[in-house]
Structure 1
Amino acid sequence: MPYLAFDLGAESGRAIAGTLREGRLTLEEIYRFPNEPVRVPDGLHWDVLRLFHEMQEGLRRAVARYGTGLKSLAVDTWGVDFGLLGERDVLLANPYHYRDGRTRGLMEEAFKVVPREEIFSHTGIQFMPINSLYQLLAWRQQQPGLLSQARTLLMMPDLFNFFFSGIKASEFTIASTTQMYNPRTGTWATGMLDKLGLPATLLPAINPPGTITGRLLPRVARETGAGEIVVIAPGSHDTASAVAAVPAAGPDYLYISCGTWSLVGVEVREPVINEQTLSLNFTNEGGVGGTFRLLKNVTGLWLVQECRRTWERQGEALSYGELTALAREANPLTTVIDPDHPAFLNPEDMPAAIQGYCRETGQPVPQTKGEIVRCALESLALKYRWVLEKLEDILGKKLEVIHMVGGGTQNELLCRFTASATGRPVVAGPVEATAAGNLLVQAMALEEVESIAEAREIVRHSFALKTYEAVKTGPWEEKYKAFVKLLG
């Protein structure tokens, strides 16, 4: 009898069934659907009702495949975005996309009321204009009438859990991405929110990962044929689920959950909130198994995804494999960028943005598609090294190995670049780490897997892993010096 994971990323969503047998987890993709934001006059939105329709279709197909034998379902998504419910639980608007520009300048406005240092001391979260805190400030500033009608704020996976079960609650790992949660007290940072004039009464109770939220609403159960199976909150933030499936056997490792974003970090038992992590703009997000994820959010393969989309609009449709092949043939270590520069957050033309950044920083300007993609991939590897070194400084120890998980591990060039840039072996896999972590937390909730350690042992026995040996060289050392100088 399988579990069912709904894993929603920035480009697509999947319904993935997982069967646990004799210490091995087998995955089967049941249904895949696009996740395309929609721009209308007031901004960029997620098409949340279409997404829920597709998730119900995924559930129907799982029932068609497995009958009524599904044990449970669970949803994970990206962080920071949310929906607002009004009276009678009416969804007041389609949730905004984190790349919408309406939060521009609102971090600085917030700091005038509550200083940056105080916000960090309350939340321990990396400062990014996309954070839920600034999105809620945008609601208050730009749509106060609608905000006054709101009764409940639900993060994206919590909103889908509500659609499935009718239960309004938040899950720890997704709540921790908001910059409105206090990891020291384990509660919402209501005092800080009061100072900013934000309604903390909107925020629901917080449950730990692995909580059985409830059962499918009777209507959903009937329409999908699934029966009233249980709905579980896994590590509802997709990175929390991915990290739960990191196949590490020891403590001294760095993880990189690599996709549209790259989440680069370590697991710790207590949040690390001090002047050093503040100055480095690191983040303390909730993890599975009583942990926190001390990490840096790094712009990931978004750089390549947007280049590909731009070239497709211009009439050249190339696969990721073809782009990687072009990058492989380009000259190495010619030009680097800071992947997290604001110029790359949501440009209309990513190749032009990369070329413009190189021009403005006095570097050779990449011209061909291969040169542009190679620049992006090498720059990501160098940023991973920068984060690695800063984390080693914070922890006072060497991180001996890098575990790379997620869809980005399919890009072997990026994996090799990471091993070369960092001088650490890179263990790549599993590709479907997020779905695997989601499914294994469901098994933990139903007491069929005892612990996160056992879950990771199951991952090691279930998926093919590939190791890229450390081969740090002189050219990488020289380019890293230039990269650090570029970061200022």
Structure 2
Amino acid sequence: MKFLAVDLGASSGRTIVAELSKESITLTETHRFKNSMKDINGEKHWDVHALLEEIKIGIAASGEVEGIGIDTWGVDFGLLDADGNLLDLPFAYRDSRHEKAMPEVYAKVSKERLYEITGMQEMTLNSIFQIYAEKMFRPELLAKADRLLFIPELLAYFLTGNKEHEYSACSTSGLLDAKTRDWSDELLETLDLPKHIFGKVNMPGTKSGEYNGTAVYLPAMHDTGSAVASVPVVDDCEWAYLSSGTWSLIGAELTEPILGDAAVKANFTNEGGIDGTIRFLKNVNGLWLIQECQRIWEEQGTNLSFAEIAKAAEESSYRETFDPAGTQYLAPDNMPAEIKADLESQGKPLPDSYGDMARCCYESLAAAYKRELNVLQTVTGKTFERLYVVGGGAQATLLNQLTANALGIEVYAGPIEATAIGNVCVQAMANGLFKDIQELRQAIANSFEIVIYQPE
């Protein structure tokens, strides 16, 4: 069976065809394109029309497949009018407008009650604050809205003409009841948000329609949901995962949300996964730190590949760290300058080479993973024997070894194309190829290289 994954990230997108059997999976990339936030009148937006054209090119280049599934980042959304027209380009999560809505929301519903309902990690980029910002700054546009769709749902709508919600994408909104897996009437009423723009929430694997005669499925449309589906665990052990890329998402797969005081204090989030599972996780900064350092160095005239940066970091003797959760690292003008200012404020010696700066980033991420895994163990009551690293960060050899050292447990790294793999596997499961997630994960373990790092 062949299925197509449309896998979109904040900086790039790909279309990948997967050929699957019960025992094995092979991937072929058919199209790759760039993506970036567009600065329009000082605001950060996504050009979803340009993304759609790239997606159509990728579909055309992919030949005959049994299904198409789209996954992207979470939280961002578009608003459609009654005729199905997009009212404006969607805002991007790194835009600063959302921050102004947070205190207004908390004036109507307490942080504690919000977490008790949604189980969402407090982040200014959560959809609840973005939607309330529309109410504050563009009430006339919100009044015209007939349906809200999250980015992957919106792109699927452009293909099929059907306005469908999907559980994992909706679960990043901060408006979904974590227990019922449906929209919270209490929050919509308390915040005076229009209920009619929120539709039925479908589980991953639902067919949403067709594009040129090919079925379009709703996989786990939030990219982390698809990535976690691909974790290649096949034996009976206590395991945690780290979806490692621009963001680091460290967590555990649960059957029910955790909504108590310990989870509130830990600021973990309860997001939706396949088969109605809960991804209990923490969003931590990730390789964005390195990506932004690379960008600044390039602007300053030094072009370094990620491999060259990693090699320089391995050779560095620098060991100081900073907390990558600082808000100054969300959208900095100059990442190396921000890091140096942070270190200087702590009285620490400053990195004086590219390798030192990169090593500082890697060491800081490993320390953050250790801190969050300890919290995860406390809140869940589990003792984890193994960490699975999936996504692009599975290639980050130095970071994975530092993580194993910091955590004191084995780190299993791979698959690299975790999101696309999870995407196509959910489509295949919807078509009966896999009877359950165990069969799905066994096929993944059979098909892709997994590198094991022992703590040193």
**Farther-moved stretch of structure 1 (400-409 vs 15-24):** 15-24
Matched, 1:195 2:181: no
Matched, 1:171 2:171: no
- 1:317-466 aligned at under 5 Å gives the runs 317-333=303-319, 335-466=320-451
- 1:47-446 aligned at under 5 Å gives the runs 47-63=47-63, 69-216=64-211, 221=212, 228-249=213-234, 250-333=236-319, 335-446=320-431
Aligned to 1:2: 2
Residue 164 of structure 1 and its aligned partner are, at CA, apart by: 0.9
TM-score, scaled to structure 2? 0.98
Residue 290 of structure 1 and its aligned partner are, at CA, apart by: 2.6
- 3-state secondary structure, aligned to 1:263: strand
Residue 199 of structure 1 and its aligned partner are, at CA, apart by: 1.7
Residue 60 of structure 1 and its aligned partner are, at CA, apart by: 0.7
Residue 391 of structure 1 and its aligned partner are, at CA, apart by: 1.2
Distance 1:280 1:319 in 2: 36
The two structures, once aligned, show a CA RMSD in angstroms of 1.0
- 3-state secondary structure, aligned to 1:93: coil
Is the contact between residue 242 and residue 388 of structure 2 (CA under 8 Å) also seen in structure 1? yes
Residue 396 of structure 1 and its aligned partner are, at CA, apart by: 1.8
- 3-state secondary structure, aligned to 1:90: coil
TM-score, scaled to structure 1? 0.92
Structure 1 residue ranges without an equivalent (≥5): 64-68, 222-227, 472-488
Aligned-pair identity in percent equals 41
Distance 1:81 1:290 in 2: 22
Q: Which amino acid aligns with 2:100?
A: G
- 3-state secondary structure, aligned to 1:113: coil
Aligned to 1:45: 45
Distance 1:158 1:264 in 2: 25
Is the contact between residue 22 and residue 439 of structure 2 (CA under 8 Å) also seen in structure 1? no
Q: Which amino acid aligns with 1:101?
A: S
Residue 42 of structure 1 and its aligned partner are, at CA, apart by: 4.7
Distance 1:270 1:12 in 2: 33
1:23-48 Cα offsets, whole Å, 9 max, x none, are: 10000111110011110105011111
Q: Which 4+ stretches in 1 moved above 2 angstroms?
A: none
- 3-state secondary structure, aligned to 1:146: helix
**Farther-moved stretch of structure 1 (425-434 vs 15-24):** 15-24
Matched, 1:21 2:21: yes
Distance 2:238 2:176 in 1: 28
- 3-state secondary structure, aligned to 2:311: helix
Structure 2 residue ranges without an equivalent (≥5): none
- 3-state secondary structure, aligned to 1:89: coil
- 3-state secondary structure, aligned to 1:440: helix
Aligned to 1:478: none
Is the contact between residue 404 and residue 455 of structure 2 (CA under 8 Å) also seen in structure 1? yes
Residue 399 of structure 1 and its aligned partner are, at CA, apart by: 0.2
Distance 1:327 1:132 in 2: 36
